[in-house]
Amino acid sequence: MTPIKPLDLSYSADIQSHIDQKTKPLGALGQLEDVAAKLALIASNKAGVLQKQVTITKPTAVVFAGDHGIAEQGVSIAPSAVTGQMVLNFLAGGAAINCFCAANQIDLHVVDCGILSEVATDNPNFHQQRLGQTTFDLSTQPAMATTQVEQGLALGANLALSLIDNGCDLILFGEMGIGNTSSASALLALLTDNDAQAVVGLGTGISTEQLNLKQKLVQQAIDRVKTTGNTDITKLLAEVGGFEIVQIVGAMLAAAEKQIPILVDGFIVSVAALVASKMDKQVTDYFIFAHQSQEQAHQLCLTELNAKPLLSLQLRLGEGTGAALAVPLLKSACHFYSHMASFADAGVTV
Ligand SMILES: O=C(O)c1ccc[n+]([C@@H]2O[C@H](COP(=O)([O-])O)[C@@H](O)[C@H]2O)c1
Ligand SMILES: Cc1cc2nc[nH]c2cc1C
């Protein structure tokens, strides 16, 4: 992996001044100003010269799907087969993410990172990048081998690079995987030195009885990994990660290397973002956090990443839905940065 080049912050003063000359009281566009400044900083770094216009022309959402051995224990409202059924729904255009992508002119790609049953389709936006059939149950054994982690990071990275080669200039990350909140919670606990109680939540909306079981199993995983003494990030991914999480991490690192802004969705994608930041801290320069999920530990993860999400809509679906909903905000930020009149242009004197 090529190290990610740090952003040259010397553009920041000119970018802020460009925003401050717009016909509005200073700071009146709030968080949208931060988004515009970030997109302008990324674009200026990429071009090597200050950009006074920024655009998003080909936002591309990628839903990474994978199955989890721990789902066998009944820690979700649904069985693992639902992951594959939802993948077919994505390919048929029927899921929430399809609707939000269609409503906001976002390209959608779907990746089989290792779901229970293979999908037969010639859909060009479907990518078969299976690391296995499903992970092992992370509460009792490593979810996968470190070779699978390495393979997954490379597959995710190569997919991001090919989407970028095809014109993607904003990448949205989504995921689908029954049981993947258990994996994300275990990763978050190990990366932040928390226990299961602090990181386990309701996922798809489980019962209190299931929540207790999920907490117990995730704590078992945390304890198991701690006894190995492993803190290496690749090993942690092998111990408690998921096939889709690993590929998201690889794709995020590649997108940042290519200086493409990254729109982060909910809990699972944010945990992947945290993992990526432990592999290369510069990746965080490219993150824009779409929304605050209802999953209770999302806040903990966002705090760890020093992130301020744009939306808070009590979503807890995943698939990249929160990211897709944030695209109009990013486009609006680009538009005001590029086209809003300055005080001088409009003859407005404050
Ligand atoms: O994005 C989120 O914040 C989010 C929060 C809770 C659940 N999900 C979705 O629900 C599935 C994981 O939940 P679970 O209960 O099966 O672990 C997976 O397909 C995710 O896309 C997603
Ligand atoms: C139906 C269903 C749709 C989903 N989309 C993302 N995670 C999901 C989980 C379930 C159960």
Co-location of 25 and 76 in the same domain: no
Cα–Cα distance measured from residue 115 to residue 53, given in angstroms and rounded to the nearest whole number: 42
- Report the nearest atom of ligand 1 relative to the CA of 78: 16
Structure tokens belonging to residue 346 = 């409009």
Residue to mutate, 199, 268, 289, ligand 1, most ligand atoms under 8 Å from C-beta: 268
Co-location of 239 and 124 in the same domain: yes
Residue to mutate, 67, 80, 82, ligand 2, most ligand atoms under 8 Å from C-beta: 82
Cα dihedral sign for 161, 59, 271, 84? Answer: negative
Which domain does 80 fall in, by range?
Answer: 59-330
Co-location of 50 and 91 in the same domain: no
Task: Tell me if 293 CB under 6 Å of ligand 1.
Answer: yes
Task: Tell me if 67 CB under 6 Å of ligand 1.
Answer: no
Nearest-ligand number for the alpha carbon of 176: 1
DSSP 10-47: GGHHHHHHHHHTBSS-TTTTHHHHHHHHHHHHHHHHHH
Do the domain assignments include residue 3? Answer: no
Q: What digits encode the pLDDT tens for the residues 48-65? A: 999 999 999 999 999 999
For residue 248, the number of C-alpha atoms closer than 13 Å in the C-beta half-sphere is: 38
The answer to whether 72 is a known catalytic residue is no
pTM above 0.95, yes or no: yes
Task: Tell me if 318 CB under 6 Å of ligand 2.
Answer: yes
The interface predicted TM-score of the complex, written ipTM, equals 0.99
Contacts with 106 (C-beta within 8 Å, 6 or more apart), sequence order: 59, 60, 61, 100, 172, 324, 327
- Overall domain count for the chain: 2
Q: What digits encode the pLDDT tens for the residues 270-300? A: 999 999 999 999 999 999 999 999 999 999 9
Do the domain assignments include residue 263? Answer: yes
Q: What digits encode the pLDDT tens for the residues 307-348? A: 999 999 999 999 999 999 999 999 999 999 999 999 999 999
**H or E element, residue 226:** helix 208-228
Do the domain assignments include residue 2? Answer: no
Contacts with 10 (C-beta within 8 Å, 6 or more apart), sequence order: none
Q: Indicate which CATH number applies to the domain containing 342.
A: 1.10.1610
Q: How many CB atoms lie within 10 A of CB 162?
A: 13
